C-alpha cells in the first residue's frame, strides 16, 4: 500500500498528538514532525491549528467504536456494554494516560474557541444519539427498565462516562469504570429480572 497523502498524515499525527499532549502543547511543528512532513506543508492543507483540531475531532468521532452500537448483532444492552468495555480497554492499555478526545479538548479549549466548542458539542451529540437508538431498541425488546427515557438516559450515560474517565485517570485505576458498569448496566438500565441477573 502506498504512503498516505500529506493531509492524511497530518490529520493522523494531530489525532495522536492532541490525544497524548493536549491541544496547547501540540504545536504545528510537533504535529508535522510526528507526521514526517515539512512544517510549511501544513498551511497548504489547513488554515490554522484550530481548523485541524476540528477535523481531528471529526475523525475521532468517525473512528470511535460505535459499530458495536447501531445495526450490530446481539442484544442491544450487550452491544452497549461492549462499546464501553472497548473504550475502557483502550484507556487501560494506555495506562490511563488518555481520556476521550472530545472530553479532553472540551475541557481544555472550549472556553477559548467557539469553533472547537461546537465540534465537541456535535461529537458528543452524535455519540449520545447513537446510544439513544440502542436504548430505544432495548426498550422495544422489553429489556429496558420501565420508565427509562432513551434520549435523556443516553445523555446521562455519556456524562457519567466522561466523569468516570477523569476519575480513572486521576486515580490511575479502573475502579471508576467498575462503578460505572455496576450502576449503569446492573441497576439503571436492565428490566427487572435482567437487572437481578447482573448483580
Half-sphere exposure of 108 (CA within 13 A, CB side): 18
Q: Is the pLDDT score of 57 beyond 50?
A: yes
**pLDDT above 60 (res 65):** yes
Structural domains of the chain ordered from first start: 6-57 (1.10.10.60), 65-198 (1.10.357.10)
Distances (CA, A) of 144 to 11, 13, 140, 155: 39, 41, 8, 16
Q: What is the dihedral of CA 21, 26, 29, 32, to 10 degrees?
A: 70
pLDDT digits (tens, 9 = 90+) for 133-190: 999 999 999 999 999 999 999 999 999 999 999 999 999 999 999 999 999 999 999 9
User: Could you tell me which of 196, 185, 192 has the C-alpha nearest to residue 83?
Assistant: 185
Measured distance CA(55)–CA(35) in Å, rounded = 15
pLDDT recorded at residue 196: 41
Q: What is the pLDDT of residues 114-140, one digit of tens each?
A: 999 999 999 999 999 999 999 999 999
Look at residue 199 in the predicted model and tell me its pLDDT. Answer: 42
pLDDT of 91: 94
Burial of 56 (0-12, 13-18, 19+ CB in 10 A): buried
The predicted structure's pLDDT at residue 110: 86
d(CA 196, CA 17): 43
Residue 194: predicted pLDDT: 47
Range 15-23 average pLDDT: 94
CA nearest to 190, candidates 64, 99, 75, 94: 75
Amino acid at each position: 500500500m502506498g504512503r498516505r497523502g500529506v493531509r492524511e498524515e497530518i490529520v493522523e499525527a494531530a489525532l495522536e498528538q492532541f490525544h497524548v499532549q493536549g491541544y496547547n502543547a501540540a504545536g504545528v511543528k510537533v504535529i508535522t514532525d510526528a507526521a514526517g512532513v515539512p512544517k510549511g506543508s501544513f498551511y497548504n492543507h489547513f488554515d490554522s491549528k484550530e481548523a485541524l483540531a476540528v477535523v481531528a475531532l471529526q475523525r475521532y468521532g468517525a473512528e470511535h467504536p460505535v459499530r458495536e452500537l447501531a445495526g450490530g448483532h446481539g442484544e442491544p444492552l450487550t452491544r452497549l456494554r461492549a462499546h464501553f468495555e472497548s473504550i475502557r480497554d483502550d484507556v487501560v492499555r494506555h495506562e490511563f494516560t488518555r481520556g476521550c478526545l472530545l472530553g479532553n479538548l472540551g475541557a481544555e479549549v472550549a472556553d477559548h474557541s467557539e469553533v472547537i466548542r461546537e465540534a465537541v458539542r456535535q461529537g458528543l451529540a452524535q455519540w449520545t444519539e447513537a446510544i439513544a437508538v440502542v436504548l430505544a431498541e432495548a426498550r422495544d425488546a422489553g429489556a429496558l427498565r420501565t420508565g427509562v427515557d432513551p434520549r435523556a438516559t443516553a445523555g446521562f450515560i455519556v456524562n457519567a462516562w466522561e466523569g468516570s474517565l477523569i476519575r480513572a485517570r486521576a486515580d490511575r485505576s479502573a475502579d471508576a469504570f467498575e462503578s460505572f458498569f455496576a450502576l449503569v448496566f446492573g441497576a439503571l438500565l436492565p428490566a427487572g429480572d435482567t437487572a437481578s441477573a447482573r448483580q
